[in-house]
Amino acid sequence: MSVVRSRRRLAAVLATCAATVLAAAPASAAPAGLGDRVDVDRVQRHLVALQRIADTHDGNRASGLPGYESSVDYVAGKLRNAGFDVRTPEFDYQAYRLDSFALDVDGSPAEGDALEYSPATPRGGLTAPLSVAAVDDTPGCEAADFPADVAGKVVLVQRGSCSFAQKQQVAADLGAAAAIIYNNAEGPLGGTLGDPADARIPTAGVTRAVGADLAGRAGAQVHLDVQSRLENITTRNVIAQTRTGRPDNVVMAGAHLDSVPEGAGINDNGTGTAGLLETALRLGGEPGTPNAVRFAFWGAEESGLVGSTKYVQGLSFEQRLDIALYLNFDMIGSPNAGYFAYDGDDSDGVGAGPGPEGSAAIERDLTAAMAAQGVRLQGTDFDGRSDYGEFIANGIPSGGLFTGAEDLKTEQQAAEWGGTAGQPYDPNYHGPADTLSNVDEVALERNSKALATTIGAYAESTDSVHRGSRALAAEEPPMLGSHARI
């Protein structure tokens, strides 16, 4: 459909769609279009396949290990059989391997873990006095936050405001021997220093409770033992594109395929993988849609978003321009599920700012697709923890759905969505119990149908993202069906 005809239809489409959103369908009603063809039983069948792959490969599907290679073969095989143009491009990276970790203070063990890419301590660990950084609005982000005598000590820093990498870099510049970063919310602190080149000193993460205890014990003797190494890895992404549709206006959607080495990764991110894969299979490799659709299943996300980053960086400017938008689906079946869409316009004001132009329209369209099932979404920050990062960095409109990881569900959220307040959205995040029993089937179905509905709509037209983002700013989000051309 031409731009002129599309614009003529815009007012009429929005008038009918806005009314539909305001009177959202009950949860049993499926969204129209492609989402209507996505069956949760088929989505779960893919999860069973991923679980069995992990079960027969040392319990995991981590990049660089046999379980991941089998996962690639499974996904790529399904897509080839459905008629897609499928590639599995290789890339190299350095994987972080943690062989052992121990932390004790004045001879008593303390619960914690090494942050990803933390350098190793000497064999047998290091022992040094504890120094405590000041807590302010930007704790540990500037040299002034640290005591004058931090050199040679293990410094304790609160999480918040700046990256873990920045905190340990500032401490390293002041001569600290190691760093301990403690959470500013309930639950364990897991995370990454971003890149081996950014990692300067051994760095551990601990809970808020452990951190609060240590904050009153400046001068205590800390023994930290981190035995880690970097391993050169060659692994693969899976990239599958329809053989029909405009190749210069590609709708792209991705989910990371790898797990952490500790487990099968069925919620993180078997759920996103399974929902996206089943959407691709229902769409087919040669749909009669105006736009091409490209599905990506990323490798080495758990090693620092490596697969998606290398993919985008490997494209020319013109190839990046061909990507109309990017949708990301990372964890869509958390057992204590929240219902989130990435905050494209920063209306929730949670910190990272808006996405590129058009991202606000994506948030509204995803919100509408979920509202059609009777579920109201909440915004979540583009906090750099998933594969949208390099797309956003290159100005590509982005969005996605998310059901929550280690953060705690609030009372208000539990009242609206169900589940248990005060508990993590996924209590088994990055753990060995992230198995088939770690998935909320209702959340999986809702999110799978919503993502399929939205992908199907964009396969028909991306005008709501590229031409309507400013015009629609004050409107209720339209409900998208696979034949909506707006």
If you average pLDDT over every residue of the chain, what do you get? 89
C-alpha span between 55 and 65 (Å, rounded): 13
Contacts for 429 with CB less than 8 Å, ≥ 6 apart: 190, 267, 268, 405, 406
Based on the fold, state whether residues 23 and 75 are members of the same structural domain: yes
CATH of the domain at 129: 3.50.30.30
Are residues 171 and 150 in contact, defined by beta-carbon separation less than 8 angstroms? yes
Return phi, psi of residue 446, to 5°. -60, -50
Sequence length of the chain is: 486
82 and 163 in one domain? no
Domain co-membership, 79 together with 139? no
Q: Are residues 31 and 106 in the same domain?
A: no
* Predicted confidence (pLDDT) at residue 445 exceeds the cutoff of 50: yes
6 pLDDT above the threshold of 50: no
- Measured from the Cβ of residue 144, the count of other Cβ atoms closer than 10 Å reads 10
Torsion of CA 417, 362, 393, 204, to 10 degrees: 10
Distance separating alpha carbons of residues 354 and 350, to the nearest angstrom: 10
Q: How confident is the model at residue 43 (pLDDT cuts 50, 70, 90)?
A: very high
Among residues 108, 73, 321, 306, which one has the least CA distance to residue 222? 108
Q: Are 21 and 53 found together in one domain?
A: yes
Does residue 301 carry a catalytic annotation? yes
Per-residue pLDDT tens digits for 259-275 = 999 999 999 999 999 99
Confirm whether 129 is domain-assigned: yes
Beta bridge partners of 222: 105, 128
Beta bridge partners of 94: 232
Domain extent at residue 282: 3-89+237-466
pLDDT in tens, 387-404: 999 999 999 999 999 999
Asked if residue 305 is part of any domain, the answer here is yes
pLDDT classification of 351: cutoffs 50, 70, 90: low
Q: Are residues 143 and 259 in the same domain?
A: no
Distance CA 285, CA 165 (A): 42
Average pLDDT (307-314) is 98
At which of 228, 245, 264 does a domain end? 228
Say what the pLDDT of residue 296 is.
99
Are residues 422 and 336 in contact, defined by beta-carbon separation less than 8 angstroms? no
CB 241 within 8 A of CB 293: yes
pLDDT at residue number 29: 31
pLDDT band with cut points at 50, 70 and 90 for residue 16: very low
Eight-class DSSP state of 468: S
Residue 482 lies in a domain: no
Please check whether residue 327 lies inside any domain of the structure. Answer: yes
Amino acid at 246: R
Pair 267, 333 in one domain: yes
Q: Which one, of 223, 29, 208, lies nearest residue 124 by Cα?
A: 223
| Residue from 69, 116, 301, 445 carrying the catalytic annotation | 301
- Ordered DSSP codes for 335-396: TT---EEE-TT-TT--SS---STTHHHHHHHHHHHHHTTT---EEE---S-STTHHHHHTT-
Residues 6+ apart with CB under 8 A from 313: 390
85 with 194, same domain: the answer is: no
Range with lowest mean pLDDT among 18-27, 340-349, 465-474: 18-27
Q: What's residue 465's pLDDT?
A: 96
What is the number of structural domains in the chain?
2
Q: What is the pLDDT of residue 349?
A: 63
How far apart CA 328 and CA 326 sit, in angstroms, is 7
53: in domain? yes
What are the Cα distances from residue 353, in Å, to 111, 344, 383?
Answer: 34, 8, 9
Res 304 pLDDT > 90:
no
99/227 Cα distance (integer angstroms): 5
Q: Over range 39-53, report the average pLDDT.
A: 98
Angstrom distance (rounded) from CA 345 to CA 364: 10
Q: What tokens appear for 209 in the block?
A: 């409770």
Domain end, chosen from 228, 252, 269, is at: 228
What pLDDT, in 10s, does the model give residues 396-436?
Answer: 999 999 999 988 999 999 999 999 999 999 999 989 999 99
Q: Is residue 347's pLDDT more than 50?
A: yes
- Cβ neighbors of 464 (< 8 A, separation 6 or more) are 361, 365, 472, 478, 480, 486
Same domain, 155 and 291: no
pLDDT range class, residue 482, cuts 50, 70, 90 = very low
Please report the pLDDT score of residue 99 as a whole number.
95
Contact 327, 358 (CB under 8 A): no
**Looking at this protein, which amino acid is placed at residue 20?**
T
Q: Is the pLDDT of residue 463 over 70?
A: yes
For residue 30, tell me if it sits in a domain.
yes
CATH of the domain at 281: 3.40.630.10
Tokens of 261: 């080495």
Q: Does 479 fall in a domain?
A: no
Same domain membership, residue 153 and residue 10: no
* Full DSSP string of 79-116: HHHTT-EEE--EEEEEEEEEEEEEEEETTEE---EEPB
Q: For 89-147, write each residue's pLDDT tens digit.
A: 999 999 898 999 999 999 999 999 999 999 999 999 999 999 999 999 899 999 999 99
Tell me, yes or no, whether 134 and 26 share the same domain. no
In a shared domain, residues 243 and 176? no
Residue 471 forms part of a structural domain: no
Among the candidates 179, 205, 228, a domain finishes at 228
Q: Provide the Cα torsion 323, 325, 330, 334; round to 10°.
A: -150
